Amino acid sequence: MPTRHPSPTTKPSDNDAVAVTEVPSRPGQPQVASQTDTSVTLSWDGPAWDGGSPVLQYVVERREMRGARWVRVHKSAVAGPPHTVTDLLAASCYQFRVHAVNAVGLSEPSPMSKVIACVTTGQNAIYDTIDVTDVEK
């Protein structure tokens, strides 16, 4: 529901414009820009609509595939993409999502990223993004 902010001292008439603001629409799906065996750099598109108030920051969340709980990946919100998520466990699988924040509040979460696993093999590290939705049953 939009929050309306009419002037506190006057009653709006039919000819007065009323500013309508609400939370932004959700950002785009996070994509992997680069990764190591313990970190992932994510990029995403901002929301299609800012809710009538500029987007101030973003909240990035992750979940390990062996659990259902989403947790913030940083103590304070980030200014925008790209953002590097550190301290991941090697060979673990993760998904990420992003919220946009404006003066009104937090958007709905972005679509979830593909499942991401940091994998190392052999002498040289090979990092791979795995989309388990593409694996045949």
pLDDT at residue 60, rounded to an integer: 97
Residues of the chain predicted below pLDDT 50: 1, 3-11, 121-128, 134-137
Q: Which residues contact 69 (CB under 8 A, 6 or more apart)?
A: 63
Q: For the structural domain made of 20-137, what CATH number should be given?
A: 2.60.40.10
Q: pTM to 2 decimals? A: 0.75
Q: Which residues contact 97 (CB under 8 A, 6 or more apart)?
A: 30, 60, 61, 70, 109, 110, 111, 112, 113
pLDDT at residue 21, rounded to an integer: 86
How far from each other are the two terminal CA atoms of the chain, in whole angstroms? 42
pLDDT at residue 127, rounded to an integer: 44
